[in-house]
Amino acid sequence: MGSKVVDLLYWKDTRTSGVIFTGLMVSLLCLLHFSIVSVAAHVALLLLCGTISLRVYRKVLHAVHRGDGANPFQAYLDVDLTLTREQTERLSQQIASQVVSAATQLRHFFLVEDLVDSLKLALLFYILTFVGAVFNGLTLLILGVIGLFTVPLLYRQHQAQIDQYVGLVTNQLSHIKAKIRAKIPGTGALASAAAAVSGSKAKAE
């Protein structure tokens, strides 16, 4: 699944990526002017009209002895969608792992396990208050979809130049982060203590 998503975002199959990108953009643009219930109903109705028309067309061909009248979607109907016990357990474990990881991160930020990380998150939310005053969530979602289908392609075409600039920005941010940590009382001592604890655990193991 992951490789298919990557191929989709990198436009390996231009037709498939174009169809999905166009469908997403049309749906999101419709949501700008109509309610989600109306858009969902119209999309479902359009899909049903297409599948029913194709099914009736096959029936008509069979009636005039120009086809077998088989369901054109039979191959999809025959796909087994049931999950084995092992697959269900593996999926449950993956979901539980993601939930625990998310809860751990939230605890780390909101209970101020690391002051610098919590301050960075506070700054991010502060910036988002200004972004929210200019854009609504749907507009940001549209921009996000455009970015998903354009940024990976641009990165692949200009990877060397982008990596160079990203490296420069990362180095600058690392220096700024180190200066901030040095000026905050106690963070250096906490980091040293954490490193010592990690080292002692590693030696014990």
3-state secondary structure of 3: helix
| Averaged pLDDT, 104-109 | 94
Burial code of 33-65, b = ≥16 C-beta within 10 A, e = fewer?
A: eeeeeebeeeeeeeeeeeeeeeeeebeeeeeee
Q: pLDDT tens-digit profile of 112-124?
A: 998 888 998 999 9
**pLDDT the model gives residue 202:** 44
Q: pLDDT tens-digit profile of 84-106?
A: 899 999 999 999 999 999 999 99
For the cut 80, the answer to whether the pLDDT of residue 196 exceeds it is no
pLDDT category of residue 197 using cuts at 50, 70 and 90? very low
For the cut 80, the answer to whether the pLDDT of residue 7 exceeds it is yes
For the cut 60, the answer to whether the pLDDT of residue 45 exceeds it is yes
| Averaged pLDDT, 148-173 | 86
**C-alpha distance from residue 170 to each of 109, 164, 165, 176 (Å):** 21, 10, 9, 10
The residue whose two tokens read 């502060």 is: 126
Give dist(CA 190, CA 152) in Å, integer.
Answer: 38
